[in-house]
Amino acid sequence: MHKGDIMLRKFKVRNFRGFKDEIEFDLTKINDYQFNKQCVKNSIGKNILIYGKNGVGKSNLGFALFDIVMTLTDKSRQMIEKYSNYKNLDNADEDVEFKYEFQFGKDILYYEYRKKNIETMSYEKLIYNDKLILEYDFNDKSKKIINIREAKNLNWKYEDTNNNISVVKYIVNNTILSPENPLSLLMDFVNSMLWFRSVKSNEYIGLKNGTESLNDIIIKNEKLKDFEQFLKEYGINYKLTQLQNSSGNEIGIKFKNGVGNFNTIISTGTESLWLYYCWKIFFNDIKFVYMDEFDANYHFELSAEIIKFLNEQEDLQSIVTTHNVSLMSNKITRPDCVFIISENRINNLSNCTEKELREAHNIEKLYREGSFTE
């Protein structure tokens, strides 16, 4: 199956952090726009921009979406502290509930689970093309339904312990599944998800294990000259070289009278661009990326160029949060791929107004004038 045919369709979450009530993120509400068709694939939003006031949940939505990575893989455990305030404090007696709907070619996979905290499952269900594949109630383990041929003879000895790990994860780790198995398809997608931001530091969830410096990523992947050209394309003309010192390989900048350390010379904006480039190296291995406040330190023209680049990636589904309303333009996106998030509600612009939006409309102006209901 072509990786571009594997996409997230819908996501629901309830009782997670600031989301007391269920919030639904639906990427299938697509209009018949005849412009910027590359932002949509298989009738699903492929390149999404998310706007919202401070504190309404743009980052929390990303953390909620990537709970599946924390649940089914052992990647990025250094980010587990982001899930310490797990339940909504007004509803701490109830479990947190996650519901995912994926499209695999023409097939639909639905995966639902509930958790008491980041480490403890309480319920799990998986449906593939309307067929129940797995259902498991951790409060009554005798009522399990496992319609997976490879798992028929699996030793379920962990049921005698208090180790409430995901049943999906347990089966995947203890059986040999065919690539077409629904669990294999699910894990293939989850292992190719990446969340990152650079507001405070190089924070990320998914794709990789452990930490690696940005210097090492570029040097070990032999991307120094390519990185130099990348910066040049965005108006930053540095002559780069490799430094070797007691702390390991680092990037240097050549000057007329010597070489300076790249880390200590560059601006905050260039540092953010450096981080973006390092993750861009792995985009061929990624199916789904969530870039939180990706352009916090970018010039508006640079932000637009990166959005255009993401739009050109046929096999990459991208979600970007931003406050930069200049990106809210029909020149680079479309109203059904721009979402506004407010308290327990997220909807695209087409569904936030009764006005029939057309390509000629100035979406940014309409947004500033309050034409869209949040």
Cα gap 73→189, rounded to integer Å: 11
How would residue 312 be classed by pLDDT, with cut points 50, 70 and 90? very high
Residue 20 corresponds to which tokens in the numbers above?
A: 């007391």
In this structure, the answer to whether residues 286 and 348 fall within a common structural domain is yes
Same domain, 223 and 268: yes
Query: Token pair of 188, please?
Result: 């293939």
135 touches 144 (CB < 8 A): yes
Q: At what angle do helices 224-233 and 268-280 cross, to 10 degrees?
A: 120
Other beta carbons within 10 angstroms of residue 168's beta carbon come to: 25
From 254, 272, 290, the end of a domain falls on 272
Query: What's the rounded mean pLDDT across residues 105-127?
Result: 94
Residue 322 within any structural domain of the chain? yes
CATH at residue 306? 3.40.50.300
- Asked if residue 85 belongs to a domain, the reply is yes
Instruction: Identify the three-state secondary structure at position 276.
Output: helix
Residues 268 and 299 in one domain: no
Asked whether the CA dihedral 315, 317, 321, 322 is positive or negative, the reply is positive
Whether 45 is covered by a domain: the verdict is yes
Query: 104 forms bridges with which residues in the sheet?
Result: 6, 107
> Does one domain contain both 88 and 133?
yes
Q: What share of the chain is helix, strand, coil (3-state, %, to 5)?
A: 35, 30, 40
- Residue 2: pLDDT over 60: no
Q: How many CB atoms lie within 10 A of CB 108?
A: 15
With pLDDT > 90 as the criterion, what percentage of the chain qualifies? 63
136 & 171 share domain? yes
Query: Mean pLDDT across the chain, nearest whole number?
Result: 89
Here the tokens at position 319 are 């979600």
Task: For residue 141, give the amino acid letter.
Answer: K
DSSP 8-state code for residue 311 = H
pTM: 0.92
Structural domain total, the chain: 2
> Does 226 fall in a domain?
yes
Residue ending a domain, among 272, 300, 315, is 272
Confidence (pLDDT) at 316: 95
Please compute the mean of the pLDDT values over residues 312-324 and round it to a whole number.
94
Say what the pLDDT of residue 300 is. Answer: 83
Sign of the torsion angle spanned by Cα atoms 72, 73, 79, 81: positive
Q: Per-residue pLDDT tens for 212-261?
A: 788 888 998 999 999 999 999 988 999 999 987 656 688 999 998 889 89
Q: Same domain, yes or no, for 41 and 125?
A: yes
Residues 218 and 263 in one domain: yes
In a domain? residue 235 = yes
CB 317 within 8 A of CB 288: yes
pLDDT class of 171 with cuts at 50, 70, 90:
very high
Q: Are residue 78 and residue 93 in the same domain, yes or no?
A: yes
The answer, yes or no, to whether residue 70 has pLDDT greater than 70, is: yes
Residue 319: CA atoms inside 13 Å, Cβ hemisphere, count? Answer: 31
Domain extent at residue 333: 3-208+282-368
E strand or H helix at 188, and its extent? Answer: helix 182-190
Residues 154, 303: one domain?
yes
203 and 341: one domain?
yes
Considering the domain architecture, whether residues 363 and 310 belong to the same structural domain is answered as yes
Is residue 373 one of the residues assigned to a domain? no
The answer as to whether 277 is a domain residue is: no
3-state SS class at 267: coil
For residues 245 and 192, state if they share a domain: no
